[in-house]
Amino acid sequence: MKINLANIKKAQKLLNKGECVAIPTETVYGLAANAYSDKACKKIYKLKKRPQNNPLIVHYLNNQILKRDCSFNNDFLKLYKIFCPGPITFILNLKKNSKISKIVTNRKKTLAVRFPKHPVTRNLLKNLNFPLAAPSANLSSKVSAVNSADVKDDFGKKVKYILEGGKSSIGLESTIIDIRNKPKILRLGGLEISTIEKALNKKIITRNNPQKISSPGQLKLHYSPGIPIRLNVKKINKGEAYLSIKNMRKKKPNFYFLSKNGNLNEAAKNLYSILRKIKKNKHKSIAVGKIPNKGLGRTINDRLKRASKF
Ligand code: AMP
Ligand code: MG
């Protein structure tokens, strides 16, 4: 993708003034603000209608800059070298003298950090004196945005500027790992757990569904298109849209598919756009066929399960 420097300048100016700007990332679009400013970060919560106890992920250019705010260990460095920049978020301990706003962390002593890969956002980060707090650029509990039109649909003119970056190449949020002690997955995401396990050469616990919510990516209703969803469906009801993992030979106006031949990465990339499209086409509910529970299929099933708690 060609980088438009004038657009980046515009985003930079607004962020320096304490405004929110939507930014492209390889996972999903983010709603970004200066992570060192209480006032700027409050605007994110207000725009998204996000509960204040749901902390934000902070986006850094690299781990040298992160050193100002967080301490980290060897496991972090191992994963950083292999997967960053990329779709993985680390829970780390905040340093006492960190400048991160208390609004970002909900006064926790930990911080969720990520290094986005998208070249436009990397260029933007290079031009800022602060990291960016950025949750997904959608209304709270709804489907994430994977292109600038989705952001516009959710926020209209309320978001001052959307930095264009094309369609997100992964299309699912980052995998969240608490790396402080024994590594623990807190949210399934765009990076497969087995790949992380191989890199660390150890088994990792998954706490994707705990009693006590420590990471609201685990909240019950989340990622919802705003209409009911039924899973593992064999028989479709009247008025329902049918969503399958691959293109079916039978073509009907209420049939939608996530990929041509069942490729799970392609399906991940299409998931949120298709959920939005089905809602726009005024179907009353969605019946989803079986989706293989391997690779990114696990994350797709996780999102659909949460979206089905309607
Ligand atoms: P999103 O709104 O899609 O950006 O999701 C951000 C996720 O990161 C949410 O599920 C947050 O709860 C989670 N998160 C942010 N900070 C922390 C933290 N310090 N500990 C655990 N989870 C966190
Ligand atoms: Mg989100």
Q: Residue whose CA is closest, atom 2 of ligand 1?
A: 135
- Please state the rounded mean pLDDT for residues 77-104: 98
pTM of the shown model:
0.95
Question: Are 5-206 and 229-307 in the same CATH fold?
Answer: no
Q: pLDDT tens across 206-219, in order? A: 987 644 555 555 55
Cα atoms in the Cβ-side hemisphere of radius 13 Å centred on 246: 7
Specify the pLDDT at position 217: 53
Specify the pLDDT at position 309: 84
* Dihedral in degrees, nearest 10, Cα atoms 78, 82, 85, 89: -50
Residue 248 Cα to ligand 2 middle (Å): 31
Which H or E run contains 184? Answer: strand 184-187
Mean pLDDT of the chain: 94
Specify the pLDDT at position 78: 97
Q: Does 5-206 carry CATH code 3.90.870.10? A: yes
Confidence tier at 310 by pLDDT (50, 70, 90):
confident
Q: Is 217 in the pocket of ligand 1 (CB under 6 A)?
A: yes
Atom of ligand 1 nearest to the CA of 176: 8
Q: Is 110 in the pocket of ligand 1 (CB under 6 A)?
A: yes
Q: Is 143 in the pocket of ligand 1 (CB under 6 A)?
A: no
Q: Is 136 in the pocket of ligand 1 (CB under 6 A)?
A: yes
Q: Residue whose CA is closest, atom 17 of ligand 1?
A: 112
Q: Does 229-307 carry CATH code 3.40.50.11030? A: yes
The 10 Å Cβ neighbour count of residue 71 is 14
Specify the pLDDT at position 214: 54
Q: pLDDT tens across 105-147, in order? A: 999 999 999 999 999 999 999 999 999 999 999 999 999 999 9
Delimit the domains of the chain by residue range: 5-206, 229-307
173 pLDDT exceeds 60? yes
6 burial level (CB within 10 Å; 0-12, 13-18, 19+): exposed
